[in-house]
Amino acid sequence: MSILRRITGSPLVRGSLLIFIGTNIGNFINFLFNLAMGRLLGPAKYGDLGALVSSSVLFGVPLGILSLFIIKVVSSYWGKRDKGKILALQSYLTPKLFFISVAVSVVLLIITPTVGQFLNLDSFIPFILIALSFVLSGPATLNRSVLQGVLAFSYTSINGVVEVTLKLIISVILVILNFGLVGALLGFLLSGIVGYLLTVVELKIIFKGVSQEKNSLLSWDLVKTFIPVILASLALTVFLNIDIILVRHFFSGSIAGEYVALSTISKIIFYGIGPVVSVMFPLISTRVSNGLPYLIPLLGTLVMSLTLSALVIFAFFLFPKLIIIILFGSKYFDIVPYLGLFSFFITVYSLNSILTHFLLSISYYRPIYPLFLISLLQGFFIFLFHDTIWQVIWVNIAVSIFYLLVISFFVWKKEGGIILKSILRPHPIIT
């Protein structure tokens, strides 16, 4: 019973449960969005949608970098109860990020013809909508990261649910009204605006009555972490998106749509693990800044993630036909042979994501540089080997396993002794 009380009293478990429920409601709705788009648009247009969304994710890598960076800075301040510094940082960055976001949107509008030709799009309008969606992306990412950094998991969960629900409703209505791919992307754009407005209101509630500190923004010790955070974010983003973009480039629209459906179904694993990682990162960062033990959250995250992954992979290998027919329908039946193997790739990717976030949370940046170089091998080898979808999947698996071996070596080198002691003689979890 004492072990059970320690587990249920852990901030990792409490925070994970809260964000797990909220985020997975959002993930489920987002999954419904993909199912609806896959059925309403058909394989070819759904392939276009998948390639456009993956392209926006790659173009938005700086946002992912900003998010990790802000979460780490804010969680460090929050652990020391320096609320005035957090408010000062948020006020300082908001106008600058808005200006940068507008500039990025302009650049994307300029390169629209080039991207459209690479992705073999029939119209440039869908990518124009992607470009416009970046106008508020900087301030929105900043606000969401601050909320996560101060461990406001309830607000984070609510925002996710509201945003994806609006995206589903708006996109489905517009696609049914024959707006097609444009309607689907308008759902992204409009729901994103609402999501940003929610974060503005929530931050005002959290920091009500807090005085902004002056001359307490970013120290050089924090700023110099930016480069490894850039590389880590880019490595993880490449792993999950470059294959979709290259498949759309090298294969027909219908095959690309089937590949997006394959990726979407397999990401059930990543959707399930994601909330736990979202809790782990700021929690470990806060503990490190306070000098508290921080390996229990990592071990707990790995155990929960491996358990969930094993269950999903087991189901995908045993019932692939049933799963695909129920989710996407008979038009996507050709992906049945790939489902189990692709889900294994997503599992390895999820472990890589956990360990990479762990290295960032403890400010151990040296391994990030070789890991980034390893991630680039994925796109390189897909360019060389893309005759079949099998080749693409095996490239994904081979590179991700190589990444996992290397990052595991670095984690063990840094924390192996402490991990052994934690396993052999676990200490009470500090709340």
Q: Which pLDDT score is estimated for 173?
A: 92
Domain count, the chain: 1
Locate all alpha helices (DSSP H) within 175-252, ordered by sequence. Answer: 180-206, 220-223, 226-250
pLDDT digits (tens, 9 = 90+) for 376-391: 899 899 989 888 889 9
CB-CB contact of 342 with 262 (8 Å): yes
Structural domain includes residue 315:
yes
Q: What proportion of the chain, given as a percentage, has pLDDT over 90?
A: 9
- 331: confidence class by pLDDT, cuts 50, 70, 90: confident
pLDDT digits (tens, 9 = 90+) for 116-160: 778 777 778 888 888 888 888 888 888 888 887 777 777 877 888
Domain that holds residue 357: 2-424
The more confidently predicted of residues 146 and 419 is: 146
Structural domain includes residue 366:
yes
Residue 178 token pair: 């024959």
Structural domain includes residue 220:
yes
Structural domain includes residue 405:
yes
Structural domain includes residue 296:
yes
Rounded to a whole number of angstroms, the distance between the first and last alpha carbons of the chain is: 17
Structural domain includes residue 429:
no
Structural domain includes residue 430:
no
pLDDT digits (tens, 9 = 90+) for 271-329: 777 767 766 766 776 676 666 667 777 777 788 888 888 888 888 888 888 888 887 87
Region of residue 123 (phi > 0: left; psi between -120 and 50: alpha; otherwise: beta): beta
The answer to whether residue 399 scores a pLDDT higher than 90 is yes
Residue whose structure tokens are 């390895």: 348
CA-atom Rg of the chain in angstroms: 21
Structural domain includes residue 431:
no
